Structure 1
Amino acid sequence: MRFRPLVILLSVIALTEATNLLSGRAFNGYGIEPRSIGGLFGIPLAPFLHGNLFHFLSNLFPLIILGALVCRLGNKVFSMVTAEIILLGGLAVWLFGRGDSIHIGASGLVFGWFGFLMARGWFAKNLIDPLVAVVVFIFYGGSMFWGLLPVASYISWESHLFGCIAGVLAAWGTSSGSQRST
């Protein structure tokens, strides 16, 4: 099944959200705490944790849409790109993020997939990827641009920025040859 890894990822995020909600957000302290040794553990955990139900729901629709567009390239590409965005983006947040906060949420992954799809359109040697990039930009470009700016102290613009950069790097890394596999 082409979308299996996305369905599994979304299910784990949703189950984590339900557990975190029922626990009174007890797990949110396990996000990325920049430049602290304990904060390193938050790198793979941050995309699964959300500050509140609205935060989770705000990420859910773009996770489904952008994730499905990445999944169309095959399960191997989806898994590698997703891991690279979470790990590289998270490490950059740990290194350079504001130290007075704990960074949580799947929006770093959302911005990473956005960056990946935009850059893949640029690097593409076919007609489909640039078309996908244009459509994604039309629907998400404006909100993604504003999300890269430090407009509110409670929003991790660092996760957005570094997720997007990690996505661009992932696109560059997958741009040579055909990456379509299941």
Structure 2
Amino acid sequence: MSESELVAEARKAFFVMFGLMAVVWLVQAANYADDYALSREFGVVSGDVGALPHVLTAPLLHWNWAHIESNSGPLFVFGFLAAYRGVARFMGLTLLVALSSGLTVWFFEQGGADTVGASGLVFGYFGYVVVRGLFDRHLIDTLIGLVMAASFAYLLTVAVPGTPGVSWLGHLGGLAGGLLGAWLFRDRGPRGRPRGKASAPDGSPRAALHKELDDLGLL
């Protein structure tokens, strides 16, 4: 991907995430005005066949303002990082993560709890960003993944069995979907030869790093 293509995709990723955040907050406003009837009607309830389609609506819904505020920052940051190399791929990833998170809750949640919230997407995007560089063999993305993993490792504490007050199953299912998405949507194309002064023997780590830096306009 050339520098101009990368910038164009990053711009599209920003507007896609801005649009998604706008939708989530507009839905929250309507939900609040209706005393959170939308969350009660379109959340994921385990074992309820009628609630199966709600795996696609539940990520847009929240239970209160604190709920949506806690999800919004990570959703935008991880979503942008997941989308900036390709919005079409990001759309497929979002669908996969929504399904993996929602279906995990639907199959395994106990007590008929009504589960909503974008945190499943947050964990899916996080998992995708952390390992994408390894599958794509992009050194810059690998470094981004390492930084994100080190900075936000605490998120994994709410994706383990028995975490009180949250749907840890939704978190775990979303994380699994993001890891799977990194493999399913990996870059299968051949690695191009770097240009000009950035060039080095084809296939060498130095060449790959220089190509990544060149794509980002850092050379």
TM-score by length of 1: 0.91
The one-letter amino acid paired with 2:159 is L
Shift of residue 176, structure 1, vs aligned partner:
4.0
Contact kept in structure 2, 1:5 and 1:79, CA below 8 Å = no
Per the alignment, in what secondary structure is the counterpart of residue 98 of structure 2? helix
Q: Which runs of 5+ in 2 are unaligned?
A: 1-10, 190-219
Cα distance in 2, alignment partners of residues 34 and 42 from structure 1: 11
Q: Could you tell me which residue of structure 2 aligns to residue 23 of structure 1?
A: 34
Shifted more, 160-169 versus 24-33: the winner is 24-33
Say which one has the larger Rg: 2
Measured on the aligned residues, the alpha-carbon RMSD in Å equals: 1.4
- Which residue in 2 is equivalent to 1:69? 81
1:148 to 155, 159, 162: 159
Give structure 1 stretches of 5+ with no counterpart: none
- In the other structure, the counterpart of 2:140 is 128
Could you tell me how far apart the structure 2 residues matched to 1:68 and 1:146 are?
23
1:108 Cα shift? 0.3
Tell me if structure 1 keeps the 8 A contact 2:47–2:112. no
Query: Per the alignment, in what secondary structure is the counterpart of residue 27 of structure 1?
Result: helix
User: 1:77, CA displacement in angstroms?
Assistant: 1.4
Structure 1 segments (4+ residues) deviating >4 Å: none
Structure of higher RCO (CA pairs closer than 8 Å, 6+ residues apart): 1
Find the aligned partners of 1:164 and 1:86 in 2 and give their Cα distance. Answer: 10
Distance 1:98 1:139 in 2: 32
Aligned match for 1:13, one of 24, 36, 44: 24
TM-score by length of 2: 0.76
Q: How much does 1:138 deviate?
A: 2.1
Residue 34 (structure 1) shift:
0.8
Structure 1 CA distance for aligned equivalents of residues 86 and 142 of structure 2: 17
Equivalent residue number for residue 102 of structure 1? 114
Q: Is the 8 A contact 2:136 2:188 kept in 1?
A: no
SS of equivalent to 2:57:
helix
Which residue in the other structure is 1:169 paired with?
A: 180
Q: What secondary structure is seen at the aligned counterpart in 1 of 2:45?
A: coil
Contact 1:89 1:159 (C-alpha < 8 Å) held by counterparts: yes
CA distance in 2, matches of 1:54, 1:28: 15
SS in 1 for 2:48: coil
- Offset of residue 35 of structure 1: 1.1
